[in-house]
Amino acid sequence: MFRDRKRGQVRAVDGINFRCEPAQIYGLLGANGAGKTTTLRLLATLLKPSSGTVCIAGCDAVREPQKVRARIGFLSTGTALYGRLTAREMVEYFGRLHGVGEDLLQARIGEMFAALGMGEFAGRRCDKLSSGMKQKVSIARTLVHDPPVMIFDEPTVGLDVMTARTIVQFIRDCRQRGKTVIVSTHVMSEAEKLCDRIGIIDRGRLLVDGTLAELRAQFGLTDLEDIFVRVVEGQP
Amino acid sequence: MNGRAIQIVYGKELRDSLRDRRTILSMIVIPVVVMPLLLFGVGALMVKTVTQARQETPHVMILGGENSPKVLAALRASKSLQLVPATGDYTNQIVEKRVRAVVKLPSDFDAALARGDQAEVDIYEYQGEMKSGFAAENLNNFFRNLSDATVQERLAGRGVPVAVLKPFAIRRQNVAPPSKVTGNVLGGILPYIIIMMCLTGAMYPALDVTAGEKERGTMETILCCPVARTDLVLGKFLMVLTASLGTVLLSLLSLGATLHFAKRALANSLPPSAPHTFAAVDVGGVAGMFLMLLPVAVLFSALLLMVGLFSKSFREAQSYCGPLIMVAVVPALVGMLPGVELNASFAVVPLLNVSLVCKEMIAGSWHWLYILLIFGSTCLYAGAALAATVWLFHREEVLFRS
């Protein structure tokens, strides 16, 4: 809840309640301005809720924000890199900020750079990299402290098909490795392919929540887009 | 507060900034290359122009004096004047710079002098125009000499000694050492330049690590790290402070070098009174000025970080910096004005106080009470600004302003 000069007291999100387990992908589905980013920012402790609780990997986001931050990897819209740092410097910086010891950090960087095929551009400045390379650096930056919870805010927006596929594969890999994954998106096909559970959010409220099969059964529709439209249009 | 986290953020921000062309430009290129070139170039050009104008024999026109061949002959014989034929539109001739000055004589000028009467001479000039001013000065000197010679002649004719009109001689002599003379001359301008460099050196780095980060989306990712926001903002602040103080230090070194070379290069073209300007600058005064600027750099760094944090984009932040520069320029500029002296009221006015005390220190005057008051009050303002910056960095509505 915040105060706006024109609108007065505004509830950006209200009554959002969901749970995501390890090795599960939870998709937060909503139109632009529905409250997806605000919800993810609350989870990532970037915003403090005016009421309610957020619990991440057993830690309270309001009372123990730093513990929560140490347990999450946050990949926002766009690559969000420091253009004048090299790929290696970028990942090292975030590793150090997360308190990863120097030996472990170098070992992890070695592993990740090899797995993601980043060796050839590790010493190049981020502003000189292609969008695919930048995305890889972003992934490495998010994973450097090996967090149990991953949060993705519209991760494929503005990306070409190949880079978007890399990201989708990366999200699946996270689930494979037992991580708890929360993704916000407004691309129905992406949510359909990726998510184990889906929550539809509109005007700051979580309207429905369940597995794709549960949603199909509840609304008698097979296409997620049709379900989404029915849910959102059913609102007063 | 976590020193290790602050150090990590500081190290990264410093490395990042030193790779930014805009920071390099404001922190290194401007103080080391542009400023000396401007000061030295403009100074040398000014000296050259004034010297040339002084050496030039100005075109002057004489009106009247038809029955005064004696004064006309003396005017023609003067080596500091070049006479041109008289025309009716002398005003236009002066304004269009074809003639530098005009002198109007009564037709019976010689006769009036011979009778012992007072003759009236009018000199017409283009006020504010340098060459016209020099021509009028030459004419003025000519008639003053003529006046003195006439007075002496008249007194001698009456058997009265010249000392009756000049009962004593006046001599002005400088007793201040050359370094103090230099300090007094430079004290006016140096603090102003250095305060401005202190501000401009901090500007780009401060906006880049705040508004720039918001624009690039990196602010969100950095805030997701398990580092206290106070540590993050302090790391950024220390980098901005380093840039500001680095710019000040480089500016002082480059100004020192410029003065040293200017003294050598312009030695022959300067008038005899000028070399005092380039005498040795008091190093203690300059060091004192640097110390006084420490809290000013903290104040500027914190204010600029606040501007950057409040702004949604780099461009918006730049537009806020315009008024901030004006706010900084005015007190620093007032301190530069001749006659504005340090007093108890000015000692608590931010920037004006530092500008005035630096002026005194460079001139070799150390008013310890004022120095303590000014340093203390500036530290207080700087501390308040830094506290406000840290507070602002904790405000969600500021960090995620859209």
- Residue A19 CB contacts under 8 Å (≥ 6 apart), including other chains: none
End-to-end CA distance of chain B: 30
Determine whether the interchain pair B220/A94 forms a contact, defined as Cβ–Cβ distance below 8 Å.
no
Rg (CA), chain A: 18
Q: Which two tokens stand for residue B218?
A: 């990196």
What confidence score (pLDDT) does residue A2 get? 66
**What gap in Å lies between CA B115 and CA B118, rounded to an integer?**
9
Are the CB atoms for A107 and A55 separated by under 8 Å? no
Contacts of B222 in chain A (CB under 8 A): 97
Residue B3 burial (10 A CB sphere; 0-12, 13-18, 19+): exposed
**What gap in Å lies between CA B207 and CA B214, rounded to an integer?**
10
For B15, name the nearest residue in chain A, comparing CA atoms only: A85
Instruction: Tell me the residue type at A218.
Output: Q
pLDDT digits (tens, 9 = 90+) for A146-156: 999 999 988 88
Best of B18, B21, B225, B397 to disrupt the A interface (most A CBs within 10 Å) is B225
Same domain, B251 and B344: yes
pLDDT digits (tens, 9 = 90+) for B162-201: 888 888 889 988 887 777 777 777 777 888 888 999 999 9
Rg (CA), chain B: 30
**A125 pairs with which residues across the strands?**
A86
pLDDT band at B267 (very low <50, low <70, confident <90, very high): low
Same domain, B32 and B98: no
**What gap in Å lies between CA B394 and CA A116, rounded to an integer?**
36
**What gap in Å lies between CA B103 and CA B86, rounded to an integer?**
10
**In this predicted model, which residue has the larger pLDDT, B80 or B275?**
B80
**What gap in Å lies between CA A219 and CA A36, rounded to an integer?**
23
Q: Which two tokens stand for residue B260?
A: 């040293």
Residue B170 placed within a domain: no
Cβ-Cβ contacts under 8 Å between A and B: the total is 70
What confidence score (pLDDT) does residue B14 get? 95
Determine whether the interchain pair B16/A82 forms a contact, defined as Cβ–Cβ distance below 8 Å.
yes
Q: Which two tokens stand for residue B154?
A: 């008249």
CB nearest to B220's CB, from A72, A76, A96: A76
For B18, name the nearest residue in chain A, comparing CA atoms only: A84
Question: Smallest Cα–Cα separation from B91: which of B124, B60, B139, B121?
Answer: B124
Dihedrals φ, ψ of A149, to 5°?
A: -120, 130
Determine whether the interchain pair A96/B8 forms a contact, defined as Cβ–Cβ distance below 8 Å.
yes
Determine whether the interchain pair B223/A94 forms a contact, defined as Cβ–Cβ distance below 8 Å.
no
Dihedrals φ, ψ of B247, to 5°?
A: -65, -40
Same domain, B250 and B309: yes
Residue B169 placed within a domain: no
- Residue B132 CB contacts under 8 Å (≥ 6 apart), including other chains: B58, B94, B97, B100, B101, B125, B126
Mean pLDDT in residue range B359-364: 82
Best of A84, A88, A125, A128 to disrupt the B interface (most B CBs within 10 Å) is A84
Distance from CA of B207 to the nearest CA of A (A): 15
Mean pLDDT in residue range A109-114: 91
Question: What does the angle CA B191 – CA B194 – CA B198 come to, to the nearest 5 degrees?
Answer: 135
The count of domains in chain B is 2
**pTM of this structure:** 0.82
Q: Which two tokens stand for residue A106?
A: 């170098």
CB nearest to A80's CB, from B5, B216, B225: B216
Q: Which two tokens stand for residue A235?
A: 């609102």
What confidence score (pLDDT) does residue A233 get? 83
Contacts of B220 in chain A (CB under 8 A): 41, 46, 74, 76, 80
User: Does residue B116 sit in helix, strand or coil?
Assistant: coil
Mean pLDDT in residue range B380-394: 96
Same domain, B359 and B249: yes
Interface of B with A (CB under 8 A): 5, 8-9, 12, 15-16, 19-20, 216-218, 220-228, 396-397, 399-400
Q: How many CA atoms within 13 Å lie on the side-chain side of B389?
A: 30
In the 8-state DSSP scheme, what is residue B346? G
Residue limits of CATH 3.40.50.300 in chain A: 12-71+148-236
Q: How many CA atoms within 13 Å lie on the side-chain side of B363?
A: 19
**A93 pairs with which residues across the strands?**
none
User: Does residue B119 sit in helix, strand or coil?
Assistant: coil
User: Does residue B255 sit in helix, strand or coil?
Assistant: helix
Mean pLDDT in residue range A203-216: 90
Determine whether the interchain pair A80/B224 forms a contact, defined as Cβ–Cβ distance below 8 Å.
no
Contacts of A93 in chain B (CB under 8 A): 8, 12
Contacts of A74 in chain B (CB under 8 A): 220-221, 224
Number of CB atoms found within 10 A of residue B204's CB: 25
pLDDT digits (tens, 9 = 90+) for B48-94: 888 888 888 999 999 988 888 888 899 989 888 999 888 888 899 99
Q: In this model, does residue B264 exceed pLDDT 80?
A: no
What confidence score (pLDDT) does residue A23 get? 92
Same domain, B232 and B314: yes
For the domain covering A12-71+148-236, report its CATH number. 3.40.50.300
Range of the domain at B232: 3-50+177-399
- Residue B112 CB contacts under 8 Å (≥ 6 apart), including other chains: B106, B118, B119
Contacts of A84 in chain B (CB under 8 A): 16, 19-20
pLDDT band at B156 (very low <50, low <70, confident <90, very high): confident
Same domain, B19 and B78: no
Determine whether the interchain pair A89/B8 forms a contact, defined as Cβ–Cβ distance below 8 Å.
no
Determine whether the interchain pair A69/B226 forms a contact, defined as Cβ–Cβ distance below 8 Å.
yes
Q: Position of tokens 């690559």?
A: A79
Residue B341 placed within a domain: yes
> Could you tell me the CA-to-CA distances from B20 to A150, B208, B244, B387 in Å, in that order?
32, 9, 15, 28
What confidence score (pLDDT) does residue A234 get? 76
Same domain, B139 and B236: no
Q: Position of tokens 């519209």?
A: A154
What confidence score (pLDDT) does residue B143 get? 93
Contacts of A70 in chain B (CB under 8 A): 226
For B17, name the nearest residue in chain A, comparing CA atoms only: A84
Determine whether the interchain pair A93/B226 forms a contact, defined as Cβ–Cβ distance below 8 Å.
no
**What gap in Å lies between CA B151 and CA B2, rounded to an integer?**
86
What confidence score (pLDDT) does residue B284 get? 82
Pairing of strands A24-29, A180-185: parallel
Residue B172 placed within a domain: no
Q: Which two tokens stand for residue B89?
A: 């539109």
**What gap in Å lies between CA B78 and CA B72, rounded to an integer?**
10
Instruction: Tell me the residue type at A80.
Output: A
pLDDT band at B266 (very low <50, low <70, confident <90, very high): low
Distance from CA of B247 to the nearest CA of A (A): 21
pLDDT band at B311 (very low <50, low <70, confident <90, very high): very high
Best of A43, A46, A79 to disrupt the B interface (most B CBs within 10 Å) is A46
Q: Which two tokens stand for residue A35?
A: 């409250």
Q: Which two tokens stand for residue B59?
A: 């075109």
pLDDT band at A137 (very low <50, low <70, confident <90, very high): very high
Q: In this model, does residue B277 exceed pLDDT 60?
A: no
Q: In this model, does residue A97 exceed pLDDT 70?
A: yes
Same domain, B46 and B60: no
Work out the angle between the directed axes of helices B35-55 and B229-265 (0-180°, nearest 10). 30
pLDDT band at B269 (very low <50, low <70, confident <90, very high): low
Distance from CA of A48 to the nearest CA of B (A): 8
Residue count of chain A: 236
Q: In this model, does residue B268 exceed pLDDT 70?
A: no
pLDDT digits (tens, 9 = 90+) for B314-357: 999 999 998 988 888 888 888 777 778 888 888 888 888 998 88
Residue B220 placed within a domain: yes
In the 8-state DSSP scheme, what is residue A45? T
What confidence score (pLDDT) does residue B36 get? 83
Are the CB atoms for A194 and A179 separated by under 8 Å? no
Are the CB atoms for A208 and A218 separated by under 8 Å? yes
Same domain, B27 and B65: no
- Residue B397 CB contacts under 8 Å (≥ 6 apart), including other chains: A2
The CATH number given to whatever domain includes residue B121 is 3.40.1710.10
Range in A62-76, A106-120, B252-266, B362-376 the model is least confident about: B252-266
Same domain, B41 and B60: no
Pairing of strands B59-64, A180-185: unpaired
Determine whether the interchain pair A74/B19 forms a contact, defined as Cβ–Cβ distance below 8 Å.
no
Contacts of A99 in chain B (CB under 8 A): 226
Mean pLDDT in residue range B37-47: 82
Same domain, B242 and B388: yes
**What gap in Å lies between CA A145 and CA A98, rounded to an integer?**
6
User: Chain A window 130-149: which residues touch B at a Cβ cutoff of 8 Å?
Assistant: 141
What confidence score (pLDDT) does residue A51 get? 85
Same domain, B381 and B274: yes
Share of chain B above pLDDT 70, in %: 95
Q: Which two tokens stand for residue B235?
A: 């790391």
Determine whether the interchain pair A46/B220 forms a contact, defined as Cβ–Cβ distance below 8 Å.
yes
End-to-end CA distance of chain A: 21
Q: Which two tokens stand for residue A62?
A: 């309001």
Best of B8, B224, B231, B393 to disrupt the A interface (most A CBs within 10 Å) is B224
What confidence score (pLDDT) does residue B305 get? 96
Number of CB atoms found within 10 A of residue B146's CB: 17
Determine whether the interchain pair B224/A46 forms a contact, defined as Cβ–Cβ distance below 8 Å.
yes
In the 8-state DSSP scheme, what is residue B281? P
What confidence score (pLDDT) does residue B281 get? 65
Determine whether the interchain pair A81/B223 forms a contact, defined as Cβ–Cβ distance below 8 Å.
no
Pairing of strands A149-153, B59-64: unpaired
Pairing of strands A197-202, A205-211: antiparallel
